[in-house]
């Protein structure tokens, strides 16, 4: 089973505003709402790929109820922990004329350490050996940045594979606990290793360093330049696929979803990376954080080029 954890979920409201201007009246031409937050995005993509997952999330107020209902309609089981206040709403402003994407994110509800401990206990009760737990996204305001690291240690002791997709101090502290998988982008990897990374070989070398520190698999996303994947035995570069851009929000989550799904299915590394890059590209074509159909993903797989480094 794949579990996704979203400690700071959101209702993602995506609006299209041609010629968006600051300090001016702007008119919306299109609007859609999606259940969001990185872990929830991962669960949505896994469902479209044909897999199953359980979304574990802190949901509050009417917005939280809406997210729970939207996931239920998509056939995704939710384990929700209630918090005071309301789950945040994030506004994504897409300007199709100037090709810009602007995010305006609200703060989430107040989350305490006791709540997190209780949620972790609930998660641990349900997991078994070889399950996958995806820890991804921002932490709620005021939560200890060492939280992902603490959760990783507990989950590893239960025999599960932890996938970590975070940034900043939460990523750094999480990596100290040696998750099975991590997905920094090239800028985050540069900060982790403490030096500027120039070119593919330098990024590959830095990815090897993380693997050498005990991370089982490292995937470094590089935007339009593709991704590098490193394991203890091999390292590859996977090309990106050029597609029409609907929204870049959630593209990285789609890649993580495909990687976790492929891992759960036991796919070889090369097939895994082709699926992951095709899934990321397919989701870029969608509006908002809507998950792409599996048929669209499959149509892009053969366009992914792999090079062993």
Residues classed as catalytic: 253
Q: What is the DSSP letter of 97?
A: T
Name the E strands within the chain.
2-6, 10-16, 30-36, 53-59, 77-82, 88-95, 100-105, 132-136, 161-165, 181-182, 217-221, 227-230, 235-238, 306-308
Compute CA 181 distance to the chain's CA centroid, rounded to the nearest angstrom. 12
CA dihedral 143, 146, 151, 157 (to 10 degrees): -160
- For residues 203 and 223, the answer to whether their CB atoms sit within 8 Å is no
Q: Helix, strand, coil shares of the chain as percentages rounded to 5?
A: 40, 25, 35
**Under 8 Å between Cβ of 85 and 63:** no
């Amino acid at each position: 089973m794949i579990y996704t954890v979203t400690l700071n979920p959101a209702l993602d409201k995506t609006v299209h505003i041609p010629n968006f201007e600051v300090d001016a009246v702007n008119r919306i031409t299109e609007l859609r709402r999606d259940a969001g937050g990185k872990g929830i995005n991962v669960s949505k993509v896994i469902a479209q790929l044909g897999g199953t997952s359980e979304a574990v999330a802190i949901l509050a107020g009417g917005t939280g109820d809406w997210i729970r209902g939207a996931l239920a309609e998509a056939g995704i089981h939710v384990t929700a922990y209630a918090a005071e206040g309301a789950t945040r709403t994030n506004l994504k402003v897409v300007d199709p004329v100037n090709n810009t994407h602007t995010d305006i994110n609200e703060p989430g509800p107040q989350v305490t350490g006791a709540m997190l401990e209780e949620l972790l206990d609930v998660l641990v009760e349900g997991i078994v050996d070889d399950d996958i737990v995806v820890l991804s996204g921002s932490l709620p305001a005021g939560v200890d940045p060492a939280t992902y690291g603490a959760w990783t240690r507990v989950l590893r002791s239960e025999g599960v594979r932890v996938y970590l997709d975070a940034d900043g101090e939460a990523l750094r502290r999480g990596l100290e606990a040696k998750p099975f998988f991590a997905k920094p982008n090239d800028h985050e990897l540069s900060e982790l290793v403490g030096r500027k990374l120039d070119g593919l070989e330098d990024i590959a070398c830095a990815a090897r360093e993380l693997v050498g520190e005990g991370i089982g698999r490292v995937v470094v996303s590089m935007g339009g330049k593709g991704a590098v994947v490193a394991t203890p035995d091999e390292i590859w570069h996977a090309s990106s696929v050029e597609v029409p851009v609907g929204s870049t929000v959630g593209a990285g989550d789609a890649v993580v979803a495909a990687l976790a799904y492929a891992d759960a299915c036991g796919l070889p590394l090369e097939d895994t990376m082709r699926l992951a890059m095709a899934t990321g590209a397919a989701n870029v074509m969608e509006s908002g954080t809507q998950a792409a159909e599996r048929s669209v993903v499959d149509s892009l797989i053969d366009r992914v080029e792999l090079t062993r480094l």
